[in-house]
């Protein structure tokens, strides 16, 4: 059994197809995990990249983002 070597693609970093206040749609590149793995080396994923975008929004001030009512 061989060890899994995770080498996520960097181009495109994240291809956002659509985004509004309630939803984001991406074209996830092949080879990129959808969710972070348990191993810290497998943290890079579609979710972690989307989370980086969300954390830059003005209404998001912590790791749990809540849209203003």
What's the number of CA atoms in the CB half-sphere (13 Å) around residue 34? 1
Residue 1 confidence (pLDDT): 53
pLDDT, averaged in runs of 10, over the chain (69 residues): 82 87 88 93 93 72 50
Residue 65 confidence (pLDDT): 55
Total domains in the chain come to 1
Residue 48 confidence (pLDDT): 93
Residue 2 confidence (pLDDT): 61
Residue 69 confidence (pLDDT): 43
Its pTM stands at 0.72
Q: Domain of residue 2: give its range.
A: 1-69
H or E segment and range at residue 46: helix 46-55
């Amino acid at each position: 059994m061989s060890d899994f070597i995770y080498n996520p693609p960097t181009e495109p970093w994240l291809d956002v197809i659509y985004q509004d206040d309630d939803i984001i749609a991406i074209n996830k590149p092949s080879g990129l995990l959808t969710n972070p793995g348990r191993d810290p080396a497998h943290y890079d994923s579609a979710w972690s990249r989307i989370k980086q975008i969300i954390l830059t929004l003005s209404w998001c001030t912590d790791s749990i983002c809540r849209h203003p009512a």
